[in-house]
Chain A
Amino acid sequence: MRNSFKKVYLLISVLMVVMLAACSEDETNATSEKSGGPVSAKIGVISYMTGPGAAYGEAITNGFNLALDEINEKGDVKIELIIEDSAGKQDQALTVAQKLMSSDDIVALLGPTLSTEMNVVGPEADINGIPIMGTSTTAAGIPQIGEYVFRNSIPESLAIPAALEKAVNKYGAKKVAILYGNDDLFTQSGFDTMKAEAENMGLEILTIETFQKGQSDYNAQLTKIKDLQPDLILASALYNEGAVIMDQARKMGIDLPFVGGNGFNSPQVIEIAGEASEGLIVATPWFGEKDDPKVQDFVKKYETEYGHKPDQFAAQAYDALYIMAEGLKNAGVADRDALRDALAEIKDLDGILGKFSFDEDGDVIMEPTVLIIKDGAFQQFE
């Protein structure tokens, strides 16, 4: 018995050595092959696909897959996506990122989903010299991690002030209450921006309340807010929690408008909260009702493919893959450094979010649109 085990182990180790050798051979062949014809490349995707935020990962990978089919059909570049699950956890994000980076075939990374995850994966990618682009990481300081780190999602520091300013002007608000999720870098960063901006504009902050991801009862916080009678509620929440918050607030008789951050911006809010979602104000790069054939085409395709309307995360992912494809086309080779340089050069690329450029840090230059939910749909807020 013992002996046969030993033999099996020996066999396995020999096989592994052989496979390792075979792998390294393969890779050298693969990189030298790529001259002439369309550039073909593998891109690693790190996405939040299981756990409380799996809805984001779902939207994001749907966006990628839709863009992938179109790009490969066009044939300028051939892309293959290798999708890994981060489960919304830093350690798992890092593990899968390292796994992807260690394969020389992979020229770039897309994701991870959360800013928290990007904070650990970004520096690692930068050291390894592999371009990485976040499609949903909106916290401050992400592209400043290093010169290989990009993003195509507009940061909260751009979106929130735009929404807040318009809302305050419209309603003549003077007193606000702030509500935010304190267990997530994204909602926390949104809160920091909200607080700073509210103080900047000379608004009185009556109270600051917190909640945690996946909470189902917000009555205690909302009762407190109701009692203080603010003019406006600022909520830095992801849509899953945000929609429930609005629902419970309306039930309690709070009819105030809500100003939300990027994560609050999703058609799912209307689906979950129904009428209670009326009066949510968000600034966003993504407006699904925009009168643009490109946008409408995307919405229609997405709906037939996945059965519901795309949200901002799907749209950003969709555009991100197009940006990568453009970078690869301009670089001409499937090489990490060449791709990085090509990405940094991208200017005024037409996407479904609008005209897109990177600034010198690899951050987004784009004009957000301010929207409000009215009559059961997102509309432009004037």
Chain B
Amino acid sequence: MHEMSLMSGMLSIANDALRGLNVKRVNAVTVSVGVLSNCLTDALELAFRSLSENTVFEGARLILCEKDFLAKCSVCGKEFTASGFPVACPACTSARLAIISGDEVYIESIDYEEEVCQKSQ
């Protein structure tokens, strides 16, 4: 449901990153999406397509990389990749944990084509 607002935030970050560069068009935007971010990749795609119309991002590929839920056990300190819920520490079985990563939604990188400068004669 909130993919539209997240995507609009991402495009504003992407615009800031491209500011001052000589961008003709963007070919690909690589985005990391944590499994805890409550984001549907299909909805992100749709948001990207509709929000990128008539911008340098129009027609660019959106590359979505799913990121695992990395947890740290609050009892024994073991760090592990959690899959599904409920989560239990593989070392001591405790469910008390801290999230290390997996709730992120961030732009990793942008591939773009440069505008070819006309050299003055």
- A and B: interacting chains: no
Partner-B contacts on A (CB < 8 A): none
Question: Which B residues lie at the A interface, using CB under 8 A?
Answer: none
